[in-house]
Structure 1
Amino acid sequence: MTNISFLPPRPSRLSQKLRAAIEATVTKGTTIVDACKEAGMSTQGYHKAMKRAAVRDYLETVQRRFVADVEANRALYKARAFEVALDLMLNAKSDAIRARMCEFLAGDAKVSPVAVHIDARQDRGGYEFVRPGQRLVEIEPDGRSKSDGQ
């Protein structure tokens, strides 16, 4: 009787160029074409390699590692954003910016206080916004104006 032993499958090897192209697309956000140029490989070779399960697994691994790194640095990014907001609050030339940064740092600016919707399908040749307390004035073709409510 023969003794048959199974060898583990040989690990798939990925070229350095392919690894560099995958890293560039995930971490830098470059297009596949630009990542392949930067890595020194053809886009056809990249797409052909993506058909292999080992390459897709490597892509998923790089994506998971990138997301984990961003999540790990989230507190640092938030701290830096607060430093910038504090600097703007103290040193901005505009009163509006300083007031906005006060609201932001106080935690009151969770939702934008103004929501504007513009309907671009209007046939009137422009947009109208009437502030409370103002009158709407329409221009007639003969040049006269007529006020709303009169």
Structure 2
Amino acid sequence: MRRINHCMNKQLQSICQKAVEIDKLNLLVKQFLPTHLSEHCRVSSFSKGTLTVQIDDPAWATELRYSLPELRDALRKEGLYQLISVKLALANENYTLPSSNKKKRQYLSATTCSSLHALSEVCSFEPLRNALRDLANNHKHPTDT
């Protein structure tokens, strides 16, 4: 029986090899990070001497940023001689698409409407006076009468 890597075409084999290399780098990086940080980050790529570490929260990224020189030096000592820099990238896992539901309309309070109306009465610039009146009249909550 043939091994699975002999059945793959060259492109797929290259992708799988790159994934294995990134996984090894990920384990190596996590070995040099404090436990509380290693749970929130992972290696996403290594290209042209730049190691990109993806982190799931900006607060953790700030803490990790202070540890980068030591991490870089430790990785070089472990044989990653081509490492020039370490770059942080914020993971977008927590990003949610905007919902298709319309946002609930917000209304001005009765006090605000009366203040806007009173302000429109003393305003001498006609376009502003009309805008203030429209705002005061058109944004009342349906239950405010």
Please report the TM-score for the alignment, with normalisation by the length of structure 1: 0.27
Structure with greater proportional strand content: 2
Q: Return the structure number with greater relative CO, CA threshold 8 A, min gap 6.
A: 2
Please report the TM-score for the alignment, with normalisation by the length of structure 2: 0.28
